[in-house]
Structures are given as structure tokens and as C-alpha cells.
Amino acid sequence: MPYSTIFLINERRVKKARVSSILVYKTIIMSNETKSIHEFDIQLICEYFSSLERQGPGSEEATIKALSFIDNLTDQSQILDLGCGSGGQTMVIAENAPGTIFGMDLFPLFINALNANASKRGFQNRAKGILGSMDNIPFDKESFDLIWSEGAIYNIGYKQGLTYWNQFIKKGGYVAVSEATWLTLNRPSEIEEFWNSAYPGIADIGQKTKEMLECGFTPVASFVLPERCWTENFYHPQKKAQKIFLEKYADSPTAHELVANEIKEAEYYQRYKEYYGYVFYIGKKI
């Protein structure tokens, strides 16, 4: 499987895990004892991804399309963008919706990039990046008119995320997430094994829609992200980034492994794109 290398550091055990870049940030828990050992690797991975405009598949058009299903927003609205990365989609929301937007991510490099970008575009009073974890939201219950998350809910699991986030959304408010999804009922075993190992939570649209209902949301819309969200907007920009990154870290095995895995992941997508993709799911809190 593809596969950027990350280090899952759990208490005193350090596990080296191979995962898709789509999953590259899958919960990294650092203990104080082990932090220094792998800090460099995690820094490196964050540096690689922060050099990109997006850290996952998506597009401005897809964000705007998902926003078009949300009809409750005003200047007073509060929006939370979880796993925002460097804030590609946060800026699109700020440009196309009223209200205040908080982007939250685990990594300072991304949050700093988001805040710099918000200032550059004049959104500093409406779009703010904050450090934090999507499974420990530092706001009161029912604070938000909308919780957004592009390509990031897998970090805590789709159903777990929707269940936990539900309590922070006002009644009648919305959730909008993009999530890895099977697009066919059957698929070649190679890609099935890859995904089942990288993210066993992957399922088809019917199952994901049912889970949204079970988490207390009326499914309002779902749509498959177009292919260029993966190719033009995610894999292609990495080619230049990879060259610069490998020049800078020519002696780092982690850097070489990361890039090799990204290339392999892009090849997998090319080969198996009929079978999986990201689907945007929009739900209204009942």
C-alpha cells in the first residue's frame, strides 16, 4: 500500500506505520520520553505537506458546491473547520460564506500558515487558526452553526467524529465532511486490501449516509469529488514539492520514503480511481 511513513507514538511504544498520505496525519500522540526521537520525522512530514496549498484532495469548486447546501448562515454564524491543515478550504469558506470561522489543526506549521494567509487576504477578523485536536473541542456545546472537515474526519473515524461533533452544533445547524468512500460494490483485491489496511472505516455511500442518520443528522446531500481534485489539485503539485524537498533533505531516509510513498499512492489512484474517491456528505442536525 501507499503510503507515507508516519510514526504513531503511543505511550512508550513507537510504531512505524505505513499509511496513505490521505491518512498521513493519523493521530500522532507523543509522549515526552519519545518525542525528541521522532520530532524530526514529524517536522519533516509537516514541512512537506505545508509546502502544498492543500494537504488532501479537494477543490475550491467542491467546497463552494458543498456550501451551497447550507442555508442557515449569517454574519453572526460560527463555523469550525476541523483538521484544517494550512487552510486551503478555510479561505474558500471565508470568501463565500458569512460569519466567523475557526480552523483547528494539531500542527503549528499549518495553523501559522492559515493565519498568515487569512491576514494576507484581509480575513484576520473572521478566520482564525487555533491549535487543538478534533476529539477535544475547546468550545461550549451547541456553539456552531456549521462544522466543516475536508479529508480529516478519518483521524478519529467518521462515525465517532459525527457523534462527538454533533453536540457542538446548534439544532438546525449543519455538518459537512469529505470522506474516503468506495464507489463500486466490488473492486480488485489489491486496492481493497490497501484501503482496508490503511483505513478500515472506508465504506460505500449508502453505508456512510446511514451512519450520518444514526449520528443524528438528516442527510441533505452527497456528491463525489471530481477526479481533478486528486490529480491537478493534489498529486500534480507534489511533483515540484518533491524535487525541492529531496534536494533539501537528500540524506534523510524519511524524506526519501515519504516521497516514494507519495508517488506510489498517486500511481494507485491512477490505476484504481473508478473504485474509490472522496465523497462530500452534508447533514443537518435534527
Residues that bind ligand SAM (CB under 6 A): 22, 25, 27, 54-56, 58, 82-85, 88-89, 104-107, 110, 133-135, 150-152, 155
Q: How far is the CB of 270 from ligand SAM (least distance, A)?
A: 19
Instruction: Specify the residue, 96 or 218, whose C-beta has the smaller distance to ligand SAM.
Output: 96
CB 35 within 8 A of CB 29: no
Question: Identity (one letter) of the amino acid at 228?
Answer: R
Counting other chains too, the contacts that 206-209 makes at CB distance below 8 Å and 24 or more residues apart are 208/158, 208/179, 208/181, 208/279, 208/281, 209/281
Instruction: Specify the residue, 82 or 255, whose C-beta has the smaller distance to ligand SAM.
Output: 82
Instruction: Specify the residue, 80 or 215, whose C-beta has the smaller distance to ligand SAM.
Output: 80
DSSP string, 71-104: ----TT-EEEEET-TT-HHHHHHHHHS-SEEEEE
Q: How far is the CB of 22 from ligand SAM (least distance, A)?
A: 6
CB 71 within 8 A of CB 8: no
C-alpha cell of 130?
487555533
Q: How far is the CB of 115 from ligand SAM (least distance, A)?
A: 14
Q: What is the distance between the alpha carbons of residues 218 and 179, in angstroms, rounded to a whole number? A: 17
Angle between helices 60-67 and 88-96 (to 10 degrees): 50
Cα 38 versus chain centre, distance: 22
Instruction: Specify the residue, 73 or 134, whose C-beta has the smaller distance to ligand SAM.
Output: 134
Q: What 3-state DSSP class applies to 176? A: strand
Q: How far is the CB of 4 from ligand SAM (least distance, A)?
A: 10
Instruction: Specify the residue, 200 or 213, whose C-beta has the smaller distance to ligand SAM.
Output: 200
Angle between helices 158-166 and 205-214 (to 10 degrees): 30
User: Which helix (H) or strand (E) covers residue 257, if one does?
Assistant: helix 253-272
Q: How far is the CB of 245 from ligand SAM (least distance, A)?
A: 17
Instruction: Specify the residue, 160 or 207, whose C-beta has the smaller distance to ligand SAM.
Output: 160
Instruction: Specify the residue, 70 or 156, whose C-beta has the smaller distance to ligand SAM.
Output: 156
Q: What is the distance between the alpha carbons of residues 104 and 101, in angstroms, rounded to a whole number? A: 10
Determine how β-strand 100-105 pairs with β-strand 4-10: unpaired
Q: How far is the CB of 185 from ligand SAM (least distance, A)?
A: 26
Q: How far is the CB of 139 from ligand SAM (least distance, A)?
A: 14
Instruction: Specify the residue, 216 or 237, whose C-beta has the smaller distance to ligand SAM.
Output: 237
CB 5 within 8 A of CB 261: yes
CB 91 within 8 A of CB 123: yes
Q: How far is the CB of 156 from ligand SAM (least distance, A)?
A: 6
